[in-house]
A and B are shown apart, each in its own frame.
Chain A
Amino acid sequence: MHLRYGLLIASLVTTLGACAGCGEDPVDDGSGGSGGSGGSGGSGGGIVTPPISAKHAIKFKTKGRLLKDFSAALALPTDQLCQELGQYNCANVHAIALGGVDAYGAGVYEPLKASAITTPLAVDRLALSGCTQRAVLDFKDLGSAKIFKLEVENGALVDINAESTSAVITTLFQRIHLRNPKDNEAAHLRDLYPQVIEAGSATPAQDWASLSCYSVLTMMESLFY
């Protein structure tokens, strides 16, 4: 499934200020992103244009892979990641938009050749729902949190630059991208925290956790391969 890259980039990467493809890791050392990464930005470093694949052979993960990868990354069962109206698995509701098929019922035998107009929305829906649930679950008992083992007081982070925060950022990148974050990627997420506070959040730590997760989960490196 060839997506309209621009559409996804515009809706996901730009909105979130994600920063895949930035940095200076050497080739193929295990910490660099796979071929699908892209995006722009960089805390204090201006815009770094990532190398673009000449082959246009990068693929969208599509429904099943997105569901399994998101679920594994967030330690949530696939049927609990996202439910429309609290009843219907979002991945099934948005199956065609996510590159799935409906061969027996609708006669859609092959995935769409290009992304649908609602594809970015469906991806966002899955990601935001999953991240929100993970944050809610973790914040019920931060001591046994799967991902967000943060130091929180009165709903706010004790220190955005604390080691616990760095560990959470690292955990997100390892679980989602199978690598460690680059310095500027981590900085981007830290930069997000004051914006969350500025937006008037009553629970900035939890909201930062959700949105940081969402930012990393919707990087092109996570959606394409």
Chain B
Amino acid sequence: MRTLSAIILGLGLSAIAGTASAKVVAPAGFCETYNNSPFCTSGPAPCAVCHSNTSPPAWNSYGDAVKAALSGQNISEAQFLTELPEALASVEGLDSDGDDFDNLDEILGGSRPGDSMSTPGDLDCPDDVSELDYPICVYSPRHVFRKVYLDFCGHSPSYDDMQAFVALDAAAQLDALHATLESCVDTEEWLGKNGAVWRLAHPKIRPVGSLKAGEDAYSTIRLADYYNDYNLYVWSQIDDNDARSVITADFFVQRSVDLTDPDEPKTSYATVADIPAGPPCGNGCTEPMQLERRNGNITSRWFLDYFVMFTPLPRNAAAQAYRAYLGYDIARVEGLFPVTGEPKDYDNKGVKDEACAQCHSTLDPLTYAYRNYNGLTGGMTQGGDPIGRAMYVDNRLEELWGDDPSMPELSNTPENGQVLGQDYADLNEWTQIAANHDQFAKAAVNDYWKLLVGTDSESDAEFDNLWKDLKGKHAYSIEKMLHDLIMTEAYGAP
């Protein structure tokens, strides 16, 4: 288990310190110079402004230009921050990505200066679109009608449907758009197994077919049935259910398919109090977590088996929860809320080193909530009872690693810490803080923004309205949010 921890830690380190010239302080330094850039309105700039990749670090054309303007590749962070403003200024007049926009215009316009596909959006829009063959820069109901069909039903409307739509007056067209959406979000393409919503969960759940139990299992190593995770995710996104349930649920969700008409299967989801063992999957399908300790998909059997595994302090689990449901990828230096005095390095992994501490001062306090959540470690007893896999285990670290001389401070690991700059007592509080934080709503909306608009949201007033209304008047109903999303200019104006 120490080997695995070392690998995980090593991967994290390589992401942030794989080369001496990858600067964790760069995003914040960039925003010191360009604090009026849209990139800097909600924290440090995205890595993508300068990087084409962060693990291992690689630079786009703009990043290369800035790098070339510095005095060297391996300068200290202090020296880097000293030189950065002048280096940035020296390349402002260049067009690094060759898209006909100077770097400074792009930075101030909110487009990436090292990406020729990213340009200041409004600058290309003509003043008058009435003479064009098709509308650009203005909302087009006809365009949206086809788009709603394609995005939510998975196919284009028929010619006759389109003709009927075009014949409607403007108000009726808008009603028809909402009616089409309402109909399409009940289709298999949207909510069924492997449908559009299901597919959104892939990077959150990170399934591994060879470890699957239950339906569709094919290997002999059947750890867990991650379809339980998909079921909860999809349920949380449909039918006006509370999207926060995905990380707060103390219940489970089962999926069933009505095959009355074999040509048109109808999938439905229902909440249940537990997932019982039984054919065809046996124990691998069960969800053993105590309900009072269950927090949706970040405490599921699959999540704990796969992301905690045999690790005492499962930073990987906390980082994945942070990445999947809050949209912050710590490996990309996102979502850093450093806690004073951290990291303590209870498991003796060397995370106090300067290069590590910059992220671990956020990551470790984020991870403490998992100190008693067990993954695959087993074969020991607690009070005479087997220590449960994928369960909450009182004094887990003491029971399983208490006498490990390589980690003498491990048992001092607290269960409380900080998430998003707020104190929590345990994972139950962790998830409440996270689920009610603006960032959860932003991340939830951004999943659909990327899916439907096709770009990252970055800074967009329409995007801001969507996540604020998701939290507010829509009471975390994704479907209600989608009705607003298809009305945005970002979605409906090509």
Give the B-binding residues of A (Cβ under 8 A). 1-2, 21-25, 27-30, 32-37, 50-59, 61, 64-65, 68-69, 72, 101, 103-105, 107, 109-110, 174-175, 178-179, 225
Range class of the B interface residue count: 35 or more
B124–A52 CB distance below 8 A:
yes
A59 proximity list for chain B (CB < 8 A): 454
A72–B155 CB distance below 8 A:
yes
0 or 1 for each of B99-142: is its CB under 8 Å from A? (1 = yes): 00000000000000000011101111110011011111100111
B454–A58 CB distance below 8 A:
yes
A55–B134 CB distance below 8 A:
no
Known: A57-B455, A65-B150. A23 touches B156 (CB 8 A): no
Interface majority SS on B: helix, strand, loop or mixed? loop
Name the contact of A54 in the complex, choosing from B117, B124, B208 (C-beta under 8 A). Answer: B124
Complex CA–CA separation, A36 to B494 (angstroms):
8
B208–A35 CB distance below 8 A:
no
A27–B150 CB distance below 8 A:
no
Name the contact of A56 in the complex, choosing from B123, B133, B166, B455 (C-beta under 8 A). Answer: B455
B29 adjacent to chain A (CB < 8 Å): no
A55–B162 CB distance below 8 A:
no
Selected A-B contacts with CB under 8 Å, 28 pairs: A22-B133, A23-B133, A25-B133, A28-B134, A30-B162, A34-B143, A35-B135, A35-B136, A35-B140, A51-B126, A54-B121, A54-B125, A56-B117, A57-B453, A57-B454, A57-B490, A65-B155, A69-B155, A72-B158, A101-B202, A103-B199, A104-B216, A174-B159, A175-B159, A178-B157, A178-B158, A225-B146, A225-B150
Nearest to A5 among chain B residues (CB) is B117
Interface Cβ pair total, 8 Å cutoff: 132
Nearest to B138 among chain A residues (CB) is A27
B455–A51 CB distance below 8 A:
no
Complex CA–CA separation, A34 to B493 (angstroms):
10
A34 proximity list for chain B (CB < 8 A): 134, 140, 142-143, 146-147, 494
B494–A53 CB distance below 8 A:
yes
B206 adjacent to chain A (CB < 8 Å): yes
The residues in B between 245 and 301 inclusive whose CB is less than 8 angstroms from any CB of A are none
A150 CB to closest chain B CB (Å) equals: 20
The residues in B between 147 and 175 inclusive whose CB is less than 8 angstroms from any CB of A are 147, 150, 154-159, 162-163, 166-167
B212 adjacent to chain A (CB < 8 Å): yes
B133 proximity list for chain A (CB < 8 A): 21-25, 27, 32-33, 37, 50-51
Known: A52-B124, A178-B157. A33 touches B150 (CB 8 A): no
The residues in B between 457 and 494 inclusive whose CB is less than 8 angstroms from any CB of A are 490, 493-494
Known: A34-B143, A65-B155, A225-B146. A27 touches B130 (CB 8 A): yes
Complex CA–CA separation, A50 to B134 (angstroms):
9
Complex CA–CA separation, A216 to B429 (angstroms):
57
A27–B124 CB distance below 8 A:
no
Complex CA–CA separation, A34 to B136 (angstroms):
9
Known: A32-B142, A68-B154. 12 other contacts (CB 8 A): A27-B130, A34-B143, A34-B494, A35-B494, A53-B494, A56-B117, A59-B454, A65-B154, A104-B208, A109-B202, A178-B146, A178-B162
B95 adjacent to chain A (CB < 8 Å): no
Name the contact of B134 in the complex, choosing from A1, A33, A57, A72 (C-beta under 8 A). Answer: A33
A54 proximity list for chain B (CB < 8 A): 119, 121-125, 136-137
A126 CB to closest chain B CB (Å) equals: 15
B341 adjacent to chain A (CB < 8 Å): no
B109 CB to closest chain A CB (Å) equals: 12
A51 proximity list for chain B (CB < 8 A): 126, 129, 132-134, 136
Complex CA–CA separation, A37 to B453 (angstroms):
17
